[in-house]
Amino acid sequence: MEHHHHHDGDAGHVHAHPLQGDMADGPRRPSREELAHINGWGADLDRKNRPAILMERTPARFIHPHEGKLPQQPENVEILVSTERPGITPIFGTVQPPKGLSGMIRRLAFKWSENDMRRWLLLLAADRVNVVEGVGEDLVHGKVPNVLAEMGIKAEWEHNRAGLVKKAVLTGAVLGAAVYLMRRRPR
């Protein structure tokens, strides 16, 4: 698609714009014959075959909804509830209820709506505190967590040995430098 033109008043000088084009017809579309080798091509070209068209569809298909009001799940553990949906839902998860310092932070976070950054930042902070609590819990139960195994060091050794060695050398160098600097300071 090469295109040359002259500007008036700039006689004799030619600007070349090899990529300029009017694009009136848009890009070329491959023909059905050209696409025939693609497995399944066009099977859902007809919108009737696309299950999520329209985005919303009533009544819902493929499910067996409960008749009448959903029974309420009993609340046997502490559940934190969004301020944007007051009250407990009929069904909810009960695993890992809030506890300890991280639980206190989570309870505080849930005082704000989901629209408020403080809620999410506090929850992320609680998550980090919870990690330290998790190590503490392990130790209380007489278990020293094998952090390297939990991070998949066996797989790293099997599939990325050079990378592991590099990381170990770098970590050693940084730790060595830190120890050296800390020892120097008292002088």
Stretch that binds other proteins, among 2-10, 152-160, 165-173, 174-182 (CB under 8 A): 152-160
CB of 174 to other proteins, least distance (A): 18
Nearer Cβ to other proteins (71/186): 71
The correct pick among 3, 6, 17, 49 for binding other proteins (CB under 8 A) is 49
Which span sits near other proteins by CB under 8 A: 9-17, 24-32, 168-176, 179-187? 24-32
Among 140, 144, 149, 182, binds other proteins (CB under 8 A): 149
| Residue of 15, 16, 44, 139 that binds other proteins (CB under 8 A) | 44
Please say whether the beta carbons of 100 and 133 come within 8 A. yes
65 is a site residue for other proteins (CB under 8 A): yes
Least separation in angstroms between residue 140's CB and other proteins is: 13
